[in-house]
Amino acid sequence: MTVKNGVKRPTVDAIRQGGFSTPWDAPMVPPFPFEMRNVEVLTVFYRTDPAMTAFLAPPPLTVAGDVVAIHIYKMNDTDWVGPYGEANVMFGANLGETQGAYSPYLFLSSDVGVAHGRETHGQPKKGGNPNIEMRGDLIVGTVERNGIDVITATMAYKQHRADPAEMRAHFDFTTNLNLKAIDHIDGRAAIRQLTSRRLTNINVHECWSGPCTVELRPNAQAPVYRLPVLEALTGFYWRADFTLVAGQIIHDYLAED
């Protein structure tokens, strides 16, 4: 095996292995597992039009309830990726015995995070600028894309200590369901799957709840407005460590054929 500047040239067998990513001498997508440490999260729950969650959920997923969660993350210390911002819009969904939350929209300020999410999990990640700020007695979370704040969420600053389990009252968002769609170079479908992954080694350092607001602004490239806010429910601000590990294929559309 050829080694130059401490980098090994891969063999054919190495290329065939899972966890391989290009460019091979400076891979972009990290292998599992990797850790997120000291993550700050603003999570807001609201009620929406159930017809729209049903419209956005790919069959054969079934929607569970009419509640949407928006998580805005300040990733302070992540293996490979470094600090970045992320936002995940999700609602409860099930496939047989698998219960979790389906994500129709995700936005990240990291190109590595976008590539990993799309290539590995099938998450519909796009570039954006999620951010969390403390403005006096208010926690403000925003998600900007194309110069438009498509999401603005606010929560009263640390009014009530909360049990992290309270955040799973509507659905278990630690199980994330996604539609993975990747084509061959000739345009034929290569992968069409529903995937599932869970966060592990979750260590919550603090968790607070309080009244919240959610505002969505239209953007054709970030159409979160399709899940309209009918009633803001509860907000949570929490800080935690967790590990991202390999997930599962729970449905293979191409295997049906």
Active site residues per annotation: 125
Which residues are 44's β-sheet partners? Answer: 70, 235
CA nearest neighbour of 123 among 138, 103, 140: 103
Rounded CA separation 167/69 (Å):
10
The bridge status of strand 189-210 relative to strand 160-161 is: antiparallel
DSSP bridge partners of 131: 142
Question: What's the rounded Cα separation, in Å, for the pair 233 and 162?
Answer: 15
What is the sign of the dihedral through the CA atoms of 121, 34, 40 and 83? negative
Burial of 28 (0-12, 13-18, 19+ CB in 10 A): middle
Location of structure tokens 């900007």:
144
